[in-house]
Amino acid sequence: MMMNQSDSPLFIKLQPRMSDFFSQVPSEIVVNVLSFLPAKDLCSISLVNKNLWSFIQDDYVWQSICINQFPVNYVSEELNKMIAEEYASRGSNSEEQPVNIINKKLYKRLSRHISFMAKERRITWLDIQQGGGNYHHWRTLEDSQSEFGKIVFLDNVWWFDVMSTLKAVLPGIYDIVWRLKIKSENDIHDLNFSATVVEKIEDGNEEMTIHEYNHTPQRSMFSSIARKKDWVEYRLPYNLVVPEREVIGDKLVYHDVHLKIFNYSGFLKTGLWIDYVRLREHDESRVYERFE
């Protein structure tokens, strides 16, 4: 039987071990390489040896990852939100001490593709007459079943847009999931769902549409959800594809995703609760409840 070269004892002896290889590479180069890798790959690499594990535990590495993988204005925006939330959690009587930002936590925040409607508040006529009248179109309600703790409820409206933009979405294939509840299919039907992937350039305002998806469920879907009388995760019947990023002229080219539910038909709509919309990395083994 012939021996493959890779099975040769001499080949194995001469082949450099991974730990030996990385021990000879300057630290700044290792950090630079790691800062462009997806989080999943970083987790795998951390298992190779103690040297790489220590690199990936270093907060400076995660700071570099945030800077290299997300547009600067988005990183700055989320960083400021983290600082504000930290001060708010301390209370008014807390000492004014600097906030210690953990960049690994910041990375998780930047790559967490979910929007809570009551928090983002990007809904037409939401609480428009709060405190100023008895009639509301949309209302914000507290709900212990929501991760954020609040949801939005459709009281009465003739037409509406519910929209959200998920910024700097990482490349991949995603399921689009809306968490909602319906009182009666007679009052809520013929809703239109849309998703648009747009390309943007760092520090720029213009965007170019890359993919556009639209779906109008059958009326039976609304009946099925209404019969549940509980929150459901409604997954749209297609996968959303976000292309790879690239750097052109020192500018990061990245992708936002616009998500929307809308209906402009002339009938009075009521009895719709919405918690969130999220992009969940597509997994063939994951099973969703079917409503259509």
Give the domains, in start order, of the chain with CATH numbers: 5-57 (no CATH), 113-281 (2.60.120.260)
For 1-37, the pLDDT digits (tens) are 444 444 544 344 434 454 555 667 777 777 777 777 7
Helix-helix angle 59-69:72-90, to 10 degrees: 130
> For residue 124, what pLDDT is reported?
74
Query: Average pLDDT of 112-140?
Result: 77
d(CA 104, CA 60): 9
Higher pLDDT, 43 or 272: 272
- List Cα–Cα distances, 44 to 1, 25, 284, in angstroms: 35, 19, 21
At residue 132, the pLDDT reads: 47
Of 131-145, 172-186, 243-257, the least confident: 131-145
What per-residue confidence (pLDDT) applies to 156? 85
Contacts 24+ apart (CB under 8 A), 285-288: 286/175, 288/175, 288/177, 288/233, 288/235
- Other CB atoms within 10 Å distance of the CB of residue 63: 19
User: Residue 12: which residues within 8 A CB-CB, separation 6 or more?
Assistant: 6
Give the pLDDT of residue 225: 94
Is pLDDT of 262 > 60? yes
Half-sphere exposure of 270 (CA within 13 A, CB side): 6
Handedness of CA 272, 278, 282, 285 (dihedral sign): negative
208 or 39: which carries more pLDDT confidence? 208
Per residue in 53-100, pLDDT (tens digit) is 777 778 888 888 888 889 999 999 999 988 888 877 776 555 566 656
> Strand, coil or helix: what is 32?
helix
